[in-house]
Amino acid sequence: MNQRWILLLIVVIVLVCGLTLFQEVQSCPDGTPLSVMTFNVGTFNGKPADINRIAIIAVNPEVPDILILQEVRGEESCRYLSGSLGLPFWVFSFYPAGKGDGLAVISRYPVKILKSFRFNRYGALAVEAVVGSEKMLICSVHLERIKGIGISETGVNISLYQAFEFMIDEVSMETDRTRAVDELLSWISSQEYEHIILAGDFNTIPGSRTIRKTLSRYQDCLWPGMDYLTGTYNHLPWPLTPRIDYIFHSPNLKCIRSSVVKESAGSVVR
């Protein structure tokens, strides 16, 4: 058995073992309960998502205190969701030129933009949120898609063999995603925030090099838990779908519960 297949076997064993563990999960800075949802609201065919459906899903089972969005269609969508959900504060940043959508944070608490990151076609949006007496750093993250995957109107065109190859590369190699995370983590380390949440569409699987780098500093809100491997990307022709969406938090935040919302217009973790 060659080295690549041995590595893949190790990855599969690690991921399957994750399914057997119990759920724990997330809380807040000064004891104030805080709920967070990340939601890639983009659609598979590129058409604008139904904004009312997004609002309905966002309140399942209750309105989050902080809603972190990717692929949201401009400031008007943010303004509508802010009013519909009763979350008075929001910030928005477009992706690089040529895309009509971007990243947003909609919040019960005051927020302001600190920095926008550009990662080829996508990026990250770092904001400061004032929660009670504490200032928090919140990042909406959207990393690059894996190159070489064909996408058409009917679905994602990828064989199981190609999927295994991509998994091995994600686990073992530097990619656009690992380089983007390096840049983001380096910038965050230069800031003076104790309470940090990174959330969004990382476009990679648990156990990948990108996720391991993030876990070297932050905790995955779904680990350990029954939703740890729940798929959040459902446009593949297989019964098992990958989880590519995450909420990471600094160790000083205690996670008391978390889940993947099963019904969505995009991919959701809360």
**Which CATH number is 112's domain given?**
3.60.10.10
Query: What mean pLDDT value characterizes the chain?
Result: 82
pLDDT tier at 232 (50, 70, 90 boundaries)?
A: confident
Question: Which of 158, 202, 165, 167 shows the shortest CA–CA distance to 181?
Answer: 202
Residue 241's pLDDT band, with cuts at 50, 70 and 90, is confident
| Domain-located, residue 28 | no
Q: What is the pLDDT of residue 269?
A: 59
41 has pLDDT over 70: yes
Q: At what angle do helices 3-18 and 160-172 cross, to 10 degrees?
A: 90
Residue 15 included in any domain: no
Q: In which band, very low, low, confident or very high, does the pLDDT at 214 lie, cut at 50, 70 and 90?
A: very high
| pLDDT band for position 83 (cuts 50, 70, 90) | very high
Q: What's the rounded mean pLDDT across residues 187-206?
A: 96
- For the chain, the domain total comes to 1
Average pLDDT on 48-74 reads 88
Amino acid at 73: R
Q: For residue 19, tell me if it sits in a domain.
A: no
In the three-class reduction of DSSP (H, G, I as helix; E, B as strand; rest coil), residue 168 is classed as: helix
Q: Which two tokens stand for residue 118?
A: 């550009």
User: Residue 162 falls within a domain, yes or no?
Assistant: yes
- For residue 2, being part of any structural domain is answered with no
For position 50, what pLDDT does the model report? 85
pLDDT score, position 104: 97
* Cα 217 from Cα 235, distance rounded (Å): 31
Answer yes or no: is pLDDT of 10 > 60: no
Specify if 87 maps to a domain: yes
Residue 57 is predicted with a pLDDT of 86
The pLDDT value recorded for residue 141 is: 98
Copy the structure tokens of residue 45: 């065919």
| Structural domain boundaries, residue 49 | 33-146+154-269
Q: Is 27 part of any domain? A: no
What is the DSSP code (8-state) at residue 47? P
Q: Which residue has the tokens 């504060």?
A: 89
Establish if 68 belongs to a structural domain.
Answer: yes
Q: How high is the pLDDT of residue 21?
A: 26
What confidence score (pLDDT) does residue 266 get?
Answer: 55
Provide the β-strand partners of residue 137: 128, 196
The pTM (predicted TM-score) of the whole model is 0.84
Give the C-alpha separation, 41 to 51, whole Å: 9
